[in-house]
Amino acid sequence: MKKLSLYLISFVVFLNLIDKFFHEDPFWVDCSNEKDLYEYVSDGWRIKKIYKKGDIVQIVGEVKYYYNSNNPQIILFKDNKIKGLNFGWRCSYLEGSEFNISRERFEKLFSS
C-alpha cells in the first residue's frame, strides 16, 4: 500500500512539474462563444453579417478577398461602433476573440 501511494504521489508531482515547465502557448487565446453573442445582442447590438469560409469579404478593383477561416465570424453594429466576434476553439492573439472599430474607419477601409 505504501508503494502504491508513493507512486501516486510521484505521478501527481510529475504532472505538476510538466505543467509548470510546459504551460499553454500564449499565442492562442479563447475565442468568443454563444454567451458573448447573447450578451451583445441583448445589449442592443444588431447582427449585420455572418462570414463563413468562402464568403467574399471585400472587392477592391478586380481583386476579391475571401473569408478563409473554418470558423464563422459575426459582425455586429450598434450606433457608430462595429464589433466582430471570432468563433472557434482557439484564436490567435493577433486576431483575438473580438475586434472593435468605428463605422467611419470600417467604411474607409472596406469601401470599394
Residue 19 lies in a domain: no
Q: Which candidate, 31, 105, 109, 112, places its Cα nearest to that of 71? A: 31
Identify the residue with better confidence: 38 or 107: 38
Coil/strand/helix, residue 69: coil
Is residue 20 within 8 Å of residue 81, measured between CB atoms? no
Residue 94 lies in a domain: yes
15 within some domain: no
Evaluate whether residue 16 is within a structural domain.
no
Within-domain flag for 72? yes
Higher pLDDT, residue 109 or 13 = 13
| Per-residue pLDDT at 46 | 92
- The answer to whether residue 14 is domain-embedded is no
Percent over 90 (pLDDT), the chain = 6
Number of domains, the chain:
1
The three cell numbers of residue 78 are: 450598434
Confirm whether 3 is domain-assigned: no
Residue 53 lies in a domain: yes
Stated as kind and residue range, the H or E segment containing 16 is: helix 2-21
Q: Could you tell me which residue, 41 or 108, shows the higher pLDDT?
A: 41
47-57 per-residue burial string, b: 16 or more CB within 10 A, e: under 16: eeeebeeeeee
Looking at the predicted structure, is the pLDDT value of residue 112 above 80? no
Instruction: Report yes or no on whether pTM surpasses 0.85.
Output: no
Alpha carbon 29 to its chain's center: 7
Full domain range(s) for residue 89? 25-110
